[in-house]
Amino acid sequence: MYYKIGVDVGGTNTDAVLVSQDNKILSKTKQTTTLDVSTGIANAIKFVLEESGVSKKAIKYIMLGTTHCTNALVERKELNKVGSIRIGLPASKAIPTMTDFPKDLQHVLGCHNYLVHGGYEYDGRPIEALREDEVKDFLHKMNGNIESLAITGIFSKTLPDQELKVAKWANEILGDAVRVSCSHQVGGIGLLERENAAILNAALQGVASKMVKAFKQTVSDLGLTAQLFIGQNDGTLMSLEQVKDFPVLTISSGPTNSIRGAGALSKVKDGVVIDVGGTTSDGGMLVDFFPRESTQAAQIGGVLTNFRMPDVVAVGIGGGTIVRFTDDTCQIGPDSVGYLLKEKALSFNGDTLTLSDFFIAENKIHIDGAIAVSDIKSTIEKQIGVSYDKALEKTKASIQETIEKLVDKLKTDAKDIPVVACGGGAFLLPAKIEGASEVLFPEHMEVANAFGACIAQISNEEEIIINTMQQNEESALEELLKKVNAKLLKDGAKKESVKVLTKEITPLAYLPGTVKLKIKICGDLEGA
């Protein structure tokens, strides 16, 4: 028997669960997120180890979900100076690299962008040959000015060799200290979006290396020898080495973990998941135990990419959401006291009426340090000049309406489907929701995100374009599947657990005989 620990670092709380081999939760905790992040993680892991009494040696895997990279991008902190080489002249010249980036981000990354000759047509013919002298000349110019490099070639998704060649030259000239991001490894078809993803990835490599180092250190300081993983945006895991190479893929792993965790806790395969936090309720759709992805390209830190993020809709209902009454009309949020609940909320002798105050008064939730229930009721009445019962009724009605709208928005058809509540603020959700066949409050729902990180699988995907006159699409798809499968097994997937999530042949408009092939597979970790 072995065990796993799942950790989720949020803006307010760092949650952890300790789980047995067969995914039973033995211990869970919510600790305050610390400024240095590591201390919060250490506290959470220590707690679940002590409470469960499981020996350190028996912990085989630790999975971490973190917003570290997202925050670095949003706050423009600790980002690397990035150089970029786009392979494709004379094509693509009209739209320079980083042209649609926010100005402040351009400034932080520096402007070391070069276009070189090369790239491929959709059918594999070269647009122009790659010129070694030209590339090396630019690499020498960048030398000393950049910390990492992004390389993007036209149609590199089908033929990555030119990107790889440039990467090799970069390594010769710039040395090992400058990490290289090749676009064919981080994005899909669509040059600008893929180039943007490669640049963001390059920008995050410094932060990611530090994060990985700190995580390793934290774990080894605790005397643990477990294998470590970090969650990525599609609900699957990456090894720490992969995270150093592809940090951009960790962005937005949080909602994915919650949705998958809630699905697994409630055993609901298809339904709506609502994750209630301190500031918002985030709703997502669960389809066959995976989050439904948005078809809109995601903006990350103001930059357009072609990542498919979970399709999440947020509404302003959370534990710290501020409630206001004008005469007898109730206005909920959208602002929140956030992590300052214990300083600002009425239940803690603060001066702000929050949603949590009502639920503490109703004994729906107990939070240490709150004043007596009867005192909360009278304080609320005093503050708003409306009787407590009436205020409660209006507030609940208002939550009901907002949540019903949220559920309706997420649903694809008129049929009633299950709604699963999760997150620290799940107590705010009503027990009956219009459009829901049932509302489930599964055990351990407050740590669904950490549990989601724990049960995550590993995955691999590829998308290429082929000409059906040169290649049979069915056999090309099988070949691609073999390649993707081999990589997944190499990454540590259990052979019999491998499942095909996407296997598509899409013909392309205006290009007779040309099709796009896409494969995505996932599997459980060997032994997990």
Partner 1 sequence: MRKISASDIEYIAMGSTVLGTGGGGDPYIGKLLAREAIKSYGEVELISADELKDDALVVPIAAFGAPMILVEKLFSGDEFVKAFEMMESYLGRKIDAVMPAEAGGLNGVIPFSVAAQKKIPLVDADGMGRAFPRLEMVTFTLHGIPVSPITQADEKGNRNVYHTINNVWGETLVGATTIQMGGSCAVGCYPMSGKQVKKAAIHDIVSYAQVLGEAILDAKANHKNPVDALIDKADAIKLFSGKVSNVSTKIDGRWNKGICEILGLDKDQGSHLTLDFQNEFLLAKKDGEAIAITPDLIVLIDAENAQPITAESIQFGTRVIVLGMKADAQWRTPEGIELGGPEKFGYKERFIPIEELNKK
Looking up tokens 């005469």 gives 327
Of 85-93, 258-266, 338-346, 352-360: span binding partner 1 (CB under 8 A): 85-93
What span, in angstroms and rounded, lies between the C-alpha atoms of 480 and 461? 10
Using rule CB under 8 A, residue 32 touches partner 1 = no
For the window 39-78, what string marks contact with partner 1 as x by the rule CB under 8 A? ----------------------------------------
Q: Which distant-in-sequence residues (6+ apart) come within 8 Å of 306 by Cβ? A: 187, 188, 189, 190, 193, 194, 197, 297, 298
DSSP codes, 256-309:
HHHHHHHHHHHT-SSEEEEEE-SS-EEEEEEETTEEPBPSSPPEETTEE-----
Using rule CB under 8 A, residue 295 touches partner 1 = yes
Of 55-63, 214-222, 472-480, 510-518: span binding partner 1 (CB under 8 A): 510-518
Tokens of 435: 């459009």
Of 21-29, 255-263, 431-439, 511-519: span binding partner 1 (CB under 8 A): 511-519
Closer to partner 1 by Cβ: residue 148 or 152 = 152
Shortest separation between residue 409's beta carbon and partner 1, angstroms:
7
Helix, strand, or coil (residue 475): helix
What span, in angstroms and rounded, lies between the C-alpha atoms of 384 and 380? 6
Shortest separation between residue 187's beta carbon and partner 1, angstroms:
11
Taking alpha carbons only, the member of 350, 381, 376 closest to residue 364 is 376
Number of H helices, E strands in the chain: 14, 23
Shortest separation between residue 183's beta carbon and partner 1, angstroms:
11
Looking up tokens 């995050």 gives 204
Of 7-15, 224-232, 407-415, 436-444: span binding partner 1 (CB under 8 A): 407-415
For partner 1, which residue of 1, 129, 177, 414 counts as binding (CB under 8 A)? 414
- Which residues inside 147-186 make contact with partner 1, applying CB under 8 A? 154-155
DSSP codes, 24-75:
-EEEEEEEEPPTTSHHHHHHHHHHHHHHH---GGGEEEEEEEE-HHHHHHHH
Using rule CB under 8 A, residue 518 touches partner 1 = no
For partner 1, which residue of 133, 413, 443, 496 counts as binding (CB under 8 A)? 413
Q: Residue 435 gets which letter from DSSP? A: T
Tokens of 350: 């603060």
Closer to partner 1 by Cβ: residue 297 or 340 = 297
Using rule CB under 8 A, residue 99 touches partner 1 = yes
Beta-carbon count within 10 A of 426 CB: 22
Closer to partner 1 by Cβ: residue 238 or 466 = 466
Closer to partner 1 by Cβ: residue 101 or 229 = 101
- Which residues inside 452-481 make contact with partner 1, applying CB under 8 A? 465
Using rule CB under 8 A, residue 91 touches partner 1 = yes
Using rule CB under 8 A, residue 508 touches partner 1 = yes
Residue numbers at the binding site for partner 1 (CB under 8 A): 88-96, 99-100, 119, 121-123, 125, 127-128, 154-155, 189-193, 285, 292, 294-296, 311, 409-414, 465, 506-512, 516
